[in-house]
Amino acid sequence: MIEIDAISKRYDGVPVVDNVSMVIEPRTVTVVVGTSGSGKTTLIRMINRLVEASEGAIRLDGEDNRSIPGYELRRRIGYAIQGHGLFPHRTVAQNIATVPGLLGWKKARIDAKVEELLTLFQLEPKTFGPRYPHELSGGQQQRVGVARALAAEPNVLLMDEPFGALDPIIRAKAQEDLLAIQKHFGTTIVLVTHDMNEAFHLADKIAVMDKGGVVQYGPPAELVRSPATPFVETLIGDAERPFRLLSIAKTGAAAEPGDADGAPISEDRSQQEALADLIWSGRDALPVISKNGVPMGRVTLDAILKRAARPR
Amino acid sequence: MCQHGPGAQASGFFIGGESLIGRDGLRVRFDKLGIVIALLAAYGALWSSFATLKPNRIVQGKAGSMLDSLPAWAGWALIGVLVVAIAAALFRASPWIKLIAAVAALAALTLSIGYAATFLTPAGNTYARVSPASGFWILLFAFALLAADAITRLDPPPGMRVLFLLLAAVAIGALLMSGSWNGLSIMKEYSGRADVFWVEAGKHVELALGSLFAAVLVGLPLGILCHRVAPLRDGVLNTLNLVQTIPSIALFGVLIAPLGWIATNVPGAAAIGIRGIGVAPAFVALFLYSLLPVVANTVVGLAGVPRAANDAARGIGMTGRQRLFKIEFPLALPVILTAIRIVLVQNIGMATIAALIGGGGFGVFVFQGIGQTAMDLVLLGAVPTVVLAFASAVVLDALIEMNSLVPNGARSA
């Protein structure tokens, strides 16, 4: 659990982050969104003390983050940034082994960890371990960057626009991978982005920042249903509202008993995908199946549209 | 007219060749640099003199061609070797063939000039001097160029280049030891000063390497400081730039007063060799000149470290020192080594001037030679300086290449 308690950061008296308080639950993905200069990067950099707070405190599992030296704190918190920040003179394996090396792990343990992470990120250890970062594609570099951040098995992973430099297809894949990794390790992830689609796709909770303050902090659905300020409304976008609601709900939740013709849809696809399928195939209803392929009834166009409508 | 055969793409240096004979795949093509080398060599061989005979060491002599300077058989043999080597340069051929031709030509030239000295000197005459004339130097340059081009095209790994250098050093050493050059005027100048020569050589190397070492010792931390403390950067670099613009002789003059003062007023200073003239001001001047390249390249090298890598290093928990030694320094090392190469070559050349203020070194012979209008004595100082600078450049280039651990393109990644 990360408790951010009335934290502020001022440069020459000008507040960049202004009196922010929020609690980040363990094993969740929290996405911090906002425009450039809203203070979102500064906020997460205060968690691992790359930026020292002017006022307030941050506690990790109840322990003040200033109770140990900054570099020791940062070794316990994963950190991944846009453009990966890999060390160009070190191989992929050496890059990933950096933090375990700093922590003084035994060589055998480090090697095992590197191999485990490379395998987990679908990079063949024998092929990719000895390569240098510039010999990898952008997507591979980004995966190595995240693998390096996770090497010392941190409870918390901070990510600053980690997918910003990737093309849309690789970005979507990277987001799926991140969610899978988060389930696998149970890591608490705090991710900064300005891409609202990414935020809605990844977040358990979204914190919207504007002019140094958090204007709304809650589950994605809450942001759509009851935006706290006009800024949040603008950020979500008028034309996007119904689709955002559908994008964060699973098809299974809209399933009802009954039959339908044609190709079925899996219960874990989003309702937005169900709607797209309904429109594209010109049907009124789709058969729904569970992840194991067991029929679960159907989902109708009406039901989906009702769910996309403004809540009353 | 200009046809590009399959071989035309093989080397990046040669854009194309001209076809001479177009018979069933047998094509002879001119090598463009080879044409220049051939013209140069032809000029050196045909229109310039090979060796000069002087009645004594300071008067003007009489220059003669190869056939004048050598017995007929040796003269024609030399011409034969040169013609073959010129042909190898002129036409496209494997770099190995060109290298062997160049080495053969260089060997023939150096042996012939030694032989010419013995041949031209009248028996029993100890005053007469024989020295290489312009044609010899032109030919030497032409075939050295051919050898250098061939080696560049072979693209040997760094270790191999140092090996080539060692082989050349052994060959030159053997030539000097064999005594076949003993008739040459430069060797006669040497034989009278053999002891002094090695003492001055030692001083020369000491001055050049010592001031380099001191400059690295001071320049590296200063460069790191300038990188970390931005307001310091401009001031330090501008000051060092200013020092660089002071002519060396002026700098020696400027240093005489303060060093003289230190020698008389600081106890023990004179005992360790600090004086207004001599080694101390030369050392300080070389040191000051060396600082700018070292500091500037350290700053540039450190600034070239990718920002993201630095940020990530901090973000994953490296301390300031770990970041410096594990990330910034290794990434800046090739640029810093380049500075050291520049400084070493520059210092070896500039240490010659130290002789002006009694600092010793090869410059002693240069200035003595100028004073006595004995050009051979000037050469005794100049040739070793050039050889030393060239050798250290080759060695340091090899070192730089070995130290850029990452293959090309790493910086852009």
* Buried/exposed A169-206: b ≥16 CB within 10 Å, e otherwise: ebbeebbebbeebbeebebbbbbbbbbbbbbbbbbebb
Our CA-based measurement puts residue B312 at a distance from the nearest CA of chain A, in whole angstroms, of: 5
**Helix, strand and coil in chain A, % to nearest 5:** 40, 25, 35
SS3 A57: strand
What band does B27 get if pLDDT is binned at 50, 70 and 90?
A: low
List the B26-29 sheet strands across, edge first. Answer: B2-3, B17-23, B26-29
Q: Kindly state whether residues A224 and A265 are assigned to the same domain.
A: no
A164 vs B: CB within 8 A: no
Q: Residue A158: inside a domain, yes or no?
A: yes
How many alpha carbons lie under 13 Å from residue A170 in its C-beta half-sphere?
Answer: 13
Mean pLDDT of B234-256: 86
Look at residue A241 and tell me if it is in a domain.
no
Residue A132 lies in a domain: yes
Last residue of a domain, one of A181, A208, A236: A236
Distance in Å, alpha carbon of B152 to nearest chain A alpha carbon: 27
- Chain B CB within 8 Å of residue A81 CB: yes
**Claim to verify: residue A130 and residue A176 sit in the same structural domain:** yes
Nearest to A72 among B311, B317, B413 (CB): B317
pLDDT of B145? 92
The verdict on residue A192 lying in a domain is yes
How many Cβ atoms are within 10 Å of A61's Cβ, its own excluded? 11
Same domain, yes or no: A275 and A199: no
Provide the sign of the torsion angle of the four alpha carbons B240, B245, B248, B250, taken in this order: negative
Average pLDDT over residues B329-348: 91
Per-residue pLDDT 10s for chain A (312 aa) are 999 999 999 999 899 999 999 999 999 999 999 988 899 999 999 999 999 999 999 999 999 999 999 999 999 999 998 877 899 999 999 999 999 999 999 999 999 999 999 999 889 999 999 999 999 998 899 999 999 999 999 999 999 998 888 888 888 888 988 999 999 999 999 999 988 889 998 999 999 999 999 999 999 989 888 889 999 988 888 888 888 888 888 888 888 998 888 889 998 888 999 999 999 999 999 999 998 888 889 999 999 998 888 876
Q: Which of B316, B319, B326, B336 to mutate to test the interface with A (most CBs of A within 10 A)?
A: B316
The answer to whether residue A123 is domain-embedded is yes
Q: Which runs of E-coded beta strand occur in B65-186?
A: 129-132
Interface membership of A48 toward B (CB under 8 Å): yes
Instruction: Provide the shortest C-alpha distance from residue B229 to chain A (in Å).
Output: 19
Co-location of A56 and A126 in the same domain: yes
For residues B412 and A24, the model is more confident at A24
Domain membership of residue A242 (yes or no) is no
Can you list the domains of chain B with their CATH numbers?
31-187 (1.20.140), 194-403 (1.10.3720.10)
Residue A149, domain CATH: 3.40.50.300
Same domain, A125 and A28: yes
Confidence at residue B374, expressed as pLDDT on a 0 to 100 scale: 83
Distances (CA, A) of B131 to B123, B171, B185: 17, 21, 5
Residue B25, pLDDT > 70, answer no
Last residue of a domain, one of A236, A266, A300: A236
The residue among A49, A87, A150, A158 with the most chain B CBs within 10 A of its CB, best to mutate, is: A87
> Would A243 be classed as within a structural domain?
no
- Same domain for A230 and A259? no
Give the C-alpha distances (Å, rounded to integers) separating A111 from A98, A105, B164.
11, 10, 41
* Whether residue A274 sits in one domain with residue A154: no
Task: Let me know whether A168 and A220 are in one domain.
Answer: yes
Is a pLDDT exceeding 50 seen at residue B6? no
* pLDDT (0 to 100) of residue A3: 94
Residue A292, token pair as written in the block: 């194991």
Alpha carbon distance A146, B303 (integer Å) = 26
CA distance A133 to chain B (A): 7
pLDDT confidence bin for B218, thresholds 50/70/90: very high
Query: Cβ–Cβ of A86/B409 closer than 8 Å?
Result: no
- For residue B322, the number of C-alpha atoms closer than 13 Å in the C-beta half-sphere is 16
Question: What are the Cα distances from residue B210, in Å, to B283, B338, B400, B411?
Answer: 8, 18, 20, 33
Q: Please give the pLDDT value at position B248.
A: 81
Q: What is the mean pLDDT of residues B103-118?
A: 91
| Same domain, residue pair A158 and A231 | yes
**Do residues B128 and B122 make contact, with C-beta atoms less than 8 angstroms apart?**
yes
Q: Do the Cβ atoms of A47 and A17 come closer than 8 Å?
A: no
> Is there a single domain that holds both residue A32 and residue A169?
yes
- The residue of chain B with its CA nearest to that of A82 is B308
Does residue B406 register a pLDDT over 70? no
Among A197, A212, A236, the domain-final residue is A236
Contact across the interface for B311 and A85, Cβ inside 8 Å: yes
Domain CATH for A279: 3.90.1280.20
Q: Do A229 and A270 fall within a single domain?
A: no
pLDDT tens, position by position, B168-192 = 999 999 988 888 888 888 888 888 8
Q: What is the average per-residue pLDDT within B366-371?
A: 90
Three-state secondary-structure class, residue B21: strand
Residues A157 and A68 in one domain: yes
Kindly state the helix (H) or strand (E) to which residue A236 belongs, with its residue range.
Answer: helix A230-236
Closest alpha carbon to B175 in B112, B100, B111, B102:
B111
pLDDT of the residue at B26:
55
The predicted pLDDT at position B412 comes to 34
Give the residue numbers spanning the domain of A142: 2-236
**Closest to B405 (Cβ–Cβ): which among A76, A81, A89?**
A89
pLDDT of residue A298: 92
Q: How far is A71 from chain B (nearest CA, A)?
A: 4
B258-297 pLDDT per residue, tens: 888 888 888 877 777 777 777 888 888 899 999 999 999 9
Count of domains observed in chain A: 2
Residues A207-235 as b or e (16 or more Cβ within 10 Å = b): bbbbebbbbbbeebeebbeebeeebbeeb
* pLDDT class of B388 with cuts at 50, 70, 90: very high
**In-domain check, residue A244:** no
Q: Is A37 left (phi over 0), alpha (psi -120 to 50) or beta?
A: left
